[in-house]
Amino acid sequence: MLRLFFKHSLRYFARHKTLTALNVLGIALGVTVFIAIRIVNYSALESFKASVDIVAGKANLQVVGDGLRFDERVFRDVRAHPEVVAATPVVEEIAALADYPGEYLQIVGVDAFTNDPLRTYQLNPGRPDEGEEFDTEEAFSFSTDPAIIAISEDLAERLGLVTGENAGVLRVQTRDGVREFRPRFVYQPNEDMPGLDEQLAFMDIANAQVNFGHTGRLNRIDVLVREGADVDAVIADLRALPGLPENALVQPPDRRGSQIELMIGAFQLNLTALSLVALLVGMFLIYNTVSAAVVRRRGEIGLLRALGLSRGQVQSLFMGEALLQGLAGLALGLGLGVALAGQLLSTVSESITSLYIRLSIQELLISPSSLLAAAGLTLGAVFLAAWFPSREAARIPPVEALSLGHLRDKARHTTGRWLALAILFLAFCVGFAWISQSGAPAWLSFLSALFCLLGFAFLVPGLSLLAARWLPRPGVVARLAATQFVQSLHRNAVTIAALATALAMVVGISVMIHSFRTTVEAWLYRSVQADLFIAPAENLDIGPTKTLRPEILPLVRETPGVADYNLYRELRSQYDGRPVKVVAVGFPVAAERARLNFRETEGGRAGRDLLVEAAGQDQVVVSEAFARKFGVGAGDTLELPTPGGAVPFAVRGVYQDYSTERGIVLMDTATYQAHWRDQAHNSLAIYAEPGVSAEELRERLRPGVNALGNFLLYSNQQVRREVFNTFDQTFAVTYLLQFIGLLVGGLGIFLSLIILIGERTRELGVLRAAGASRAQLRGIVLWESGLIALTGTVAGMAAGLVLAWLLSNVINVAFFGWTIAWATPWLFLLSLPLWVMLAALASAWWPARVAGRLDIAAAVKME
Amino acid sequence: MYEDSPSEPAIRVEKARKHYGESATGVDALDGVSLEVPRGQFAAIMGPSGCGKSSLLHALGGLDRLTSGRIWLAGQPLHELDDNELTRLRRHQLGFVFQFFNLLPTLTVAENVRLPALLAGLPEDEAAEREASLLAEVGLDHRRAHQTHQLSGGEMQRAALARALMMNPPVVLADEPTGNLDSVASGKVMGLFQKLGQEHGTTIVMVTHSREVAAAAERLIEMLDGQIRADSRQPAAAS
């Protein structure tokens, strides 16, 4: 019997190819977005984890300097610990490739004499296709020749580098200028490490220290502790070693991976949540098509029931058909999703790099859990959407189903019930928004957004009735369209809800992005006041990791036209076990020149006075994100790990900052240097004297600065431009999600009108017989489409504005701790209805043509 | 309404052929039908299912095109008219009555009756006046504000007849108008056809498979296998 049903369904699909194809496409688009985001997220995490794994090797403990390198002499003591089986020192450096703009190497300096028990990769003499035999003597050159480097096979292939004995020259930027390395070896992981960053490179530790100016310093010591040893005791012993900075961390290597997961988790969760909206819109489409199939096949249902089919079997038949389409949509969506993920990979990778941590993802990794999640969600959504209309099919009495005149399903104007549900959902929306602001898990804020969308979706029937009743109806075409619009409310309301949901997402995200951009713009204009900045050129690609040469400072001081300057140092640190940034700037200059916007100050003091007072003291100000994340405010004290031990700092104020969601502890340069014993700076801000332009100053400084290395001199306009490039790139993915959401919404209108024309064939035929022209019939369909678009736009824009408020003031605050000031993109909001109307009319054009070309004789015949 | 000389019949059909399907394997629904219906005549076309009576009616109403042959309706050559001209013809020269009434469920009774006038662009007040008068004629003036599903079958068909007469067309085509009614309602509807035909001078062509219903017409055309097998005048029976 199942086989018969299956055949029956397939034949039904074959007879209704367009409807089936559109349905499958609607589902597929929803799946596409979801699976693409899942794949990209998974690839990002796996890529980072693989890099941590290969670098950490088989170590089960790591001794890490907290943002700063430490004295290598401590290595002896670590290795000498009785429970330590093996230990190896590591130096890390990121270096730009001089001949490949935007490319860099993450160089890991390893000690070939001690890392053997910990190593998880092999050095090969060249790429397999270069056909070289491994030669132990040659391998020895890895340690003796400071220019020898081992790179990944993928990088060699991508950049077309010759490796092995005849290796070419790879010019690498160092602080002291460009150095020439030779990729004599390629390394290969011992086991498959999918997603491994191809930019990872290995070099002998001593060579790396010399090449990059870190002689006598280490980033890390990888440690293998004896199996069965008391790891906590070993950690305590190592921590207490003299010579190890007090802020050094002794921890298992996987902690780094989980910290990263935690850090980018919010970003990824936001993308995933947005991707689900397309699936929600797709659900509305399924509901509509299944219920339309029920109407169209009433006679068939009656016949099957008369032949002895039970209610459950009828419902199973419809559910089975919906699930078959769901499976087809899933298969297509998975294919499209993988293709889309490939397109999104570099954008998301760059966003994560600019927002959180340097990350390079080259490989698409598809996890079985992603596929299962996509399958579960899609089929679950299809099941849920098809359940109610198929249950309705099962409940039709056979006699009623077989009788003539029942082609149309009964328009149930149960708007009161929908309205009650809408109010309930909107109440949930408010409730979850409030709860998520009161210390509950941040993900609850997404429930408030979901209930906002559902609440407005359920308001649609009432709104549609109002629209049909109150909108002017000039002429017979408009009147007929309005009456048909109301009569088909059961179908139209679902289409409008789908459109409204898609539009709500577009409006919500656009308004939020506009508000965010306006807020960031205002913040940038206030806080970036310097005329010129100097920073190592590589920082543009790899973040503020490189430092300035000390000779730059006297050069700047002595240049005529320089009124003042400020130094910037950024350090990645930890607070309360979570990654934060410690930033040092000269407070006296910042008080004078930069205009930090304080949200809160101790005792309500002026921010400027507060900075002057805090200079050189153990006093800090924290960013808004830090304050919210850790519940720290003005007047509190926070303890930070420094190389000299934990130091308590008085928090004098909370300031507005949008540079990172990690949270910043800002202190005076003198305070930082006293505690961290670090004189380095990542960049320098220069203030020109009145009458001296940034361009003039740049020309005066350029020869001296260029002679010192590869440094960039850029104006504040360039900084702002750079910030907005990052900003726009971060949100680029969301524009794509919005586009797909809208596409599904447009598809919904098309599908709905095609279904309605099918259902109204006889009425349209009667109208033609009664004298309606083709143009009038087309007009009725187009007018009705206009009503759908108008109602959908009103509901969607209202929902979108509420969603924008939730995104700005609830979700953003819960996840990132940023305050976004509302800004209305008037031009966008005013032009949107026009575009929606045009899109709706375009979607309705073909259905309108179908209506106009109706075979009148066939239409007016018996049902 | 007629656009030709008074001697011209309301309907003239010459060698009408309607072929469905492939040329070799299909069927001829109409197989060389020729026919004239004088103005004001009430003619019934009768025959078993599949004899071609509905195909002929659809062709007469310009709802369907012939494979070959020619049709003149109210003096206009249907076979030469394009879609816009056919639409104009249906608005002004034709009224349709269907077996399943085909009233629009979204409109009230009055709105349904007024529909052809509105589609033709007649002023609202003029349409309303005519609709009221027609509803009174068919005995439904008390039902004008009702929804169509509130009417009985007979009432629905009377409303459909009023709609067909809204533009005062010279020709009304009726496809099994009593096919969905009981005998009492059928009798009332046929009575109205006779009365309105006489009062308005309307030519009525009705398709039916019921000999009793066909007896209400002045002329009986019998069809079989796409051809006219008998054509006779008959004394119109009182319904």
Q: Write the secondary structure of A637-678 as one string of H (helix), E (strand) and C (coil).
A: EEEEEECCEEEEEEEEEEECCCCCCCCEEEEEHHHHHHHHCC
CB-based burial label for A545 (10 Å; 0-12, 13-18, 19+): middle
Res A791: pLDDT: 92
Query: What's the pLDDT score for residue B3?
Result: 57
Element spanning A790, H or E: helix A774-806
Nearest to B205 by CA among B58, B34, B24: B58
Length of chain A: 863
Q: Report yes or no: A157 and A127 within 8 Å, Cβ to Cβ.
A: yes
Q: B87–A774: do the CB atoms touch at under 8 Å?
A: yes
Residue A475 CA to residue A459 CA, distance in Å, equals 28
Chain A residues near residue B100 by CB distance under 8 angstroms: 404-405, 862-863
pLDDT of amino acid A359: 63
Secondary structure (DSSP) of A338-360? HHHHHHHHHHHHHHHHHHTS---
pLDDT tens string B101-111: 788 887 889 99
Question: Nearest C-alpha of chain A: how many angstroms from B24?
Answer: 22
Considering CB atoms only, which of A408, A476, A856 is closest to B119? Answer: A476
- In degrees and rounded to multiples of 5, residue A93 shows phi and psi of -155, 145
- Closest Cβ opposite residue B63 in set A769, A772, A773: A769
Q: How confident is the model at residue B223 (pLDDT cuts 50, 70, 90)?
A: very high
Q: Which residues of B touch A861 (CB under 8 A)?
A: 54
Give me the helix-helix angle, A444-470 and A489-527, nearest 10°: 130
Reported as type and span, the H/E element at residue A109 is strand A104-110
B60 has a pLDDT exceeding 60: yes
Residue A799 is predicted with a pLDDT of: 95
For chain A positions 69-108, those within 8 Å of chain B (CB to CB) are: none
- Residue that is written with structure tokens 């439904």 in the block: B140
A480, A762, A771 member nearest B90 (Cβ): A771
Q: Residue B166 and residue B126: Cα distance in Å, rounded?
A: 11
Which DSSP letter does residue A154 get?
Answer: H
Q: What is the mean pLDDT of chain B?
A: 87
Residue of B nearest to A862 (CA): B100
Do A694 and A531 form a contact (C-beta atoms < 8 A)? yes
Which residues touch A787 (CB under 8 Å, ≥6 apart)?
A464, A467, A468, A471, A481, A482, A485, A492
Q: Which residues of A fall within a CB distance of 8 Å from B84?
A: 773-774
pLDDT at A673: 94
The pLDDT > 90 percentage for chain B reads 34
- Residues of B at the A interface, defined by Cβ within 8 angstroms: 54, 58, 61, 63-64, 83-84, 87, 90-92, 96, 98-100, 102, 104-107, 115-116, 118-120, 163, 167, 175
Q: Do A771 and B96 touch (CB under 8 A)?
A: no
pLDDT of residue B153 exceeding 80, the answer is yes
Calculate the alpha carbon distances from B197 to A25, A695, B201, B217, B218 in Å: 55, 96, 5, 10, 11
Task: Kindly compute the dihedral angle of the four CA atoms of residues B174, B179, B181, B184, in this order, to the nearest 10 degrees.
Answer: 80
**Residue A104, SS3 per DSSP:** strand
Model pLDDT, residue A358:
62
Give me the pLDDT at residue A193, please.
Answer: 66
A405 — contact with chain B (CB < 8 Å)?
A: yes
| CB nearest to B102's CB, from A483, A766, A772 | A766
Q: Which residues of A touch B96 (CB under 8 A)?
A: 766, 769-770, 860
The candidate with the shortest Cα–Cα distance to A734, out of A253, A390, A455, A351, is: A351
Q: Identify the pLDDT of residue B224.
A: 92
3-state secondary structure chain B: CCCCCCCCCCEEEEEEEEEECCCCCCEEEEEEEEEEECCCCEEEEECCCCCCHHHHHHHHCCCCCCCEEEEEECCEEHHHCCHHHHHHHHHHCEEEECCCCCCCCCCEHHHHHHHHHHHCCCCHHHHHHHHHHHHHHCCCHHHCCCEHHHCCHHHHHHHHHHHHCCCCCCEEEEECCCCCCCHHHHHHHHHHHHHHHHHHCCEEEEEECCHHHHCCCCEEEEEECCEEEEEEECCCCCC
Q: H-helix or E-strand containing A222?
A: strand A220-225
**Shortest Cα distance, chain A CAs vs residue B18, angstroms:** 13
Q: Extract the residue ranges of chain A whose pLDDT is less than 70.
A: 1-5, 48, 51-57, 126-139, 191-195, 254-267, 269-270, 353-362, 398-414, 540-543, 862-863
The answer to whether A769 contacts B87, with C-beta atoms less than 8 Å apart, is: no
B115 contacts on A by Cβ (under 8 Å): 476, 767, 770
Which two three-digit tokens encode residue A65?
Answer: 């300097």
Cβ-Cβ contacts under 8 Å for A573 (sequence gap 6 or more): A66, A67, A247, A579, A580, A581, A582, A640, A641, A665
Alpha-carbon A262 to chain mean position:
14
Alpha-carbon gap, residue A851 to A847, rounded angstroms: 6
Asked if residue B11 lies in contact with residue B203, where contact means CB atoms within 8 angstroms, the answer is yes
Residue A779: the pLDDT is: 92
Q: Taking 80 as the threshold, does the pLDDT of residue B232 lie above it? A: yes
Contact A93, A35 (CB under 8 A): no
CA distances from B160 to A774, B103, B104, B146 (A): 22, 7, 10, 14
**Which residue among B91, B98, B105 places its CB closest to the CB of A860?**
B98
Of A480, A483, A860, the CB nearest to B63: A860
